Amino acid sequence: MTATHGATINGAGPVSPDALVERLRAQASRYHSEHDFHVRMNAGQLSPDQIRGWVANRFCYQEAIPRKDAAILGNCPDREVRRRWIRRIVDHDGDESHEGGIEAWLRLGEAVGLGREEMLDGRHIVPGVRFAVDAYVTFARTRPWVEAVASSLTELFAPNLMAERLAAFEREYTWIDRDGLTYFRNRLHQAPRDSEHALEIVRERCRTGEEQDRAVAALAFKNDVLWSMMDAIDRAYPA
């Protein structure tokens, strides 16, 4: 399956907030869970080298998430939104009370046989992944903040994928230490919470047809980012 580019433009004026949510949820058909590499991963068909390649390259994205969220905060004039959004950075960077998602992903790397140094220095990251991740951070930095919020709504689709992934790793890849799967477990409750807030923002602030079209296009762009990452990993680590 190949990702299609761009979003369907409504072109018929604004729709109700509920109808906008349906347009956003329809983007689930373009989520990277449908990519062949992901399908094979959840079916237990990847080799240890392929799993390590995916973990190492996905770390490029995990490291960039706090920078993406900081860009949204920097552009957002609404204090109440900022006060809620900032917890995303803490979730990934951690604080004195918990290690955070980046540390949890480093532990996943160790569980699949990667050293911390080779994760942190990015030696395994392929150009297509780096390009896609940089494009996403640039989007969050340069586009209106509500569009950047809308692009984060792939989290609407993440809990199902995360649950399937966790079950697949525990069932199919028994050579991986289960203590290394903490990141997946944490996202089972973090992603629904985060997507609820982002959806609330988009529903409230995207009122005109143009604003709604841009929100859907932003989510389509994020789907393309994730799909492009999977394409690059699939080419670099073939069956």
The CATH number covering residue 69 comes to 1.20.910.10
User: What whole-number percentage of the chain has pLDDT above 70?
Assistant: 95
Query: Contact at 8 Å (CB) between 99 and 108?
Result: no
Whether the per-residue pLDDT at 163 is higher than 80: the answer is yes
Domain for residue 11, yes or no? no
pLDDT value of residue 13: 79
User: How many Cβ atoms sit within 10 Å of the Cβ of residue 66?
Assistant: 19
3-state secondary structure of 176: coil
Q: What is the pLDDT of residue 185?
A: 93
Q: How many independent structural domains does the chain possess? A: 1
Would you say residue 5 lies in a domain? no
pLDDT of residue 20: 96
Within-domain flag for 9? no
Which carries the bigger pLDDT value, residue 154 or residue 1? 154
| pLDDT tens digits for range 177-192 | 999 999 999 988 898 9
Model confidence pTM above 0.85: yes
* Higher pLDDT among residues 168 and 160, named by residue: 168
Give the residue carrying structure tokens 């009370």: 97
34 domain residue, yes or no? yes
Is 7 within the bounds of a domain? no
Angle 48-75/79-93 helices, nearest 10 degrees?
A: 150
pLDDT value of residue 11: 56
Mean pLDDT of 40-56: 97
The pLDDT assigned to 10 comes to 52
Q: At what angle do helices 17-25 and 182-205 cross, to 10 degrees?
A: 140
Instruction: Identify the domain containing residue 99 by its residue range.
Output: 17-236
What φ, ψ does residue 45 adopt, rounded to 5°?
Answer: -100, 5
Please, which pLDDT band fits residue 12 given cuts at 50, 70 and 90? low
Return the CA Rg of the chain: 18
**For the ranges 1-5, 55-59, 181-185, which has the lowest average pLDDT?**
1-5
Cβ atoms within 10 Å of 216's Cβ, excluding its own: 23
CB 231 within 8 A of CB 36: no
Q: Is residue 3 part of a domain?
A: no
User: Which range, of 149-153, 174-178, 188-192, 215-219, averages the lowest pLDDT?
Assistant: 188-192
Residue 91 scores a pLDDT above 60:
yes
d(CA 124, CA 57): 7
CA 189 to chain centre: 15
Residue 8 is assigned to a structural domain of this protein: no
| 172 within a domain of the structure (yes/no) | yes
The torsion angle over the Cα atoms of residues 88, 145, 24 and 63, rounded to 10 degrees, is: -40
Question: CA-CA distance, 134 to 202, in Å (whole number)?
Answer: 24
pLDDT at 1: 39
Q: Residue 204 corresponds to which tokens in the numbers above? A: 């409230």
Percent of the chain residues topping a pLDDT of 90: 87
